[in-house]
A and B are shown apart, each in its own frame.
Chain A
Amino acid sequence: MSPLQLCVAFSSVLFAVGLTGALARSNSILVLLGIELMLNAANLNFIAFWRYSPAPSPATGVIFVIFAIAVAAAETAVGLALVISIYRHQRNIRLQEATRLKG
Chain B
Amino acid sequence: MEPRVAYLWLIPALPLLAAGVGCVAPRNGRRLAAGAAIAAMLGALVLSCFALHLALADPSAHLVYNFRWFDLGNGAVRLGLLLDPLNGLMCVMVSLVGLLIFIFSLGYMDADENFTRFFCFLSLFAAAMLCVVVANSLLLLFIGWELVGLASYLLIGFWFHRPAAAAAAKKAFITTRIGDLGFLLGLVWLYDTTGSLLLYDGGNGVLESHVLGDLATQVLAGGLAASTAIGLLIFCGAVGKSGQFPLHVWLPDAMEGPTPVSALIHAATMVAAGVFLMARIFPLAAADQGLAAAPVHVLTVVAGIGAVTALMGAAIAVAQHDLKRILAFSTVSQLGYMMLALGVGSWVAAIFHLLTHAFFKALLFLGAGSVIHAAHHEQDIRNLGGLRSPMRATYATFSVGMMALTGVPFVFSGFWSKEAILHAASEWNVSHLPLYAGLAGVVLTAFYMTRLLCEVFWGAPRSPAAAHAHESPAVMTVPLVVLAVGAVALGFLGTPAWPWLQSQLTGEAVPAHSLLEGGGLMALSIVLVATGLGAGWALYGRRLRATAGADDPLAAAAPRLFAFLGARMKLDELYAATVGRLNTFAAALAVILDRWVWGGAVGFLARFGEFTGSVNRGVDEGGLNAGFDSISERIRGAGRAYSRAQTGETHGYLRALAVAFVVLALLALLGGGQ
Contacts and interface: CB of A to CB of B under 8 A. Distances in A.
Interface of A: 19, 22-23, 26, 28, 31, 95-96, 98-103
B648 interface: yes
Contact of B644 (A22, A23, A100, A103): A103
Contact of B643 (A23, A98, A103): A103
B651 A23 contact: yes
Given A31-B654, A102-B649, 9 more contacts: A22-B654, A23-B651, A23-B658, A95-B649, A95-B651, A99-B649, A101-B648, A102-B646, A103-B646
Given A19-B658, A23-B655, A23-B658, A100 B648 contact: yes
A20 B517 CA distance: 155
A95 B650 contact: yes
8 contacts: A19-B658, A22-B654, A31-B650, A96-B651, A101-B646, A102-B648, A103-B642, A103-B648
B647 interface: yes
Contacts of A99: 647-649
A45 to B, nearest CB: 13
A91 to B, nearest CB: 18
Contact of A102 (B647, B654, B655, B658): B647
Contacts of A26: 651
Interface of B: 642-651, 654-655, 658
B591 to A, nearest CB: 71
B132 to A, nearest CB: 95
Given A103-B642, A103-B643, A98 B648 contact: yes
Nearest to A22: B654
B646 to A, nearest CB: 3
A31 B653 CA distance: 13
A11 B646 CA distance: 32
Given A103-B642, A103-B644, A96 B649 contact: yes
A102 to B, nearest CB: 3
A17 to B, nearest CB: 13
Nearest to B641: A103
A23 B654 contact: yes
A31 B643 CA distance: 25
Q: Which 5 pairs across A and B sit closest by C-beta, in order of nearness?
A: A103-B643, A102-B648, A103-B646, A99-B648, A95-B650
Nearest to B647: A102
A75 B571 CA distance: 115
A31 to B, nearest CB: 7
A103 B651 CA distance: 16
Contacts of B655: 23
A96 B658 CA distance: 18
B190 to A, nearest CB: 94
